[in-house]
Amino acid sequence: MEYIIIISLFFAHLINKSLCVFCDREKKNLYNTFFIYIITVVLSVLIYLKFGISVECVQYMVLIPFLIIISIVDYYTIYVYDITIVSGIIVQGIIFLAFFNIVQFDYINHIFGLLIGFIIPYIIAKLTKGLGYGDVGLYSLCCFALGNNYGFYVIVLSFILAFLFFIILYITKIFKDVDIRKQIPFTPFISLSTILIIFTEYNIFNFYYNLLYKFI
């Protein structure tokens, strides 16, 4: 456990350094620094407790820093840098290759996940203009890490979370002067849906359907 905490603290340090590069005006924000360290350590420990020493533990622990930095930078700049997406996909690929001869692993499942994470959001982006290409890239990264079994659910859950968020904004009249279509980034919803899928798998959808059934 001590090693997991040390590794997560190192990841948090890298995230803060990256934030200084991609979002310079926020580099002295103590709130961001505190949030990054806490959320990185907590999520890393929870991943270790759930998966133990395994391929999933390694790939998800490495995925978390990318989710955090991409979401924070997008929040402040409404922009997703290609280098963060490409680097994340490359790192995940390296992890898969590193474990190729060590454990049995369904690599085809993750390749199909990458295709699903790219094709479906790309079509949505082209048809509706509701997604940016940075969002498509993050979907690709997340679905590649999670695999084909959960890739589609990440896409669906992210839209559900965004819809619920917008409903809350509308009901509470918070941020009434904000243009939702232009000023609210979508990557935090993708990241949150990925994290929820990692920890709950399909159970989050069972909870949602049961809750929806009660109201209907």
3-class SS of residue 1: coil
Token digits of residue 92: 């995940």
d(CA 73, CA 80): 7
pLDDT tens, position by position, 100-112: 777 777 788 899 9
**CA dist 6 → 42, 48, 71, 163 (Å):** 12, 13, 23, 37
d(CA 57, CA 75): 27
pLDDT tens, position by position, 23-40: 765 555 777 788 899 999
Number of domains in the chain: 1
Domain membership of residue 124 as a residue range = 2-215
d(CA 216, CA 197): 25
- Which of 15 and 45 is assigned the larger pLDDT? 45
- Which of 48 and 106 is assigned the larger pLDDT? 48
Q: Are the beta carbons of 131 and 186 closer than 8 angstroms?
A: yes
What does DSSP assign to residue 173? T
CA dihedral (58, 12, 161, 108) in degrees, to 10, reads -20
pLDDT at 173: 64
Q: How confident is the model at residue 201 (pLDDT cuts 50, 70, 90)?
A: confident
pLDDT reading at 20 higher than 90: no
- Closest to 138 in 3D by CA, of 95, 84, 174: 84
- Closest to 138 in 3D by CA, of 75, 94, 47: 75
d(CA 175, CA 152): 31
pLDDT tens, position by position, 53-92: 888 999 999 999 999 999 999 988 888 999 999 999 999 9
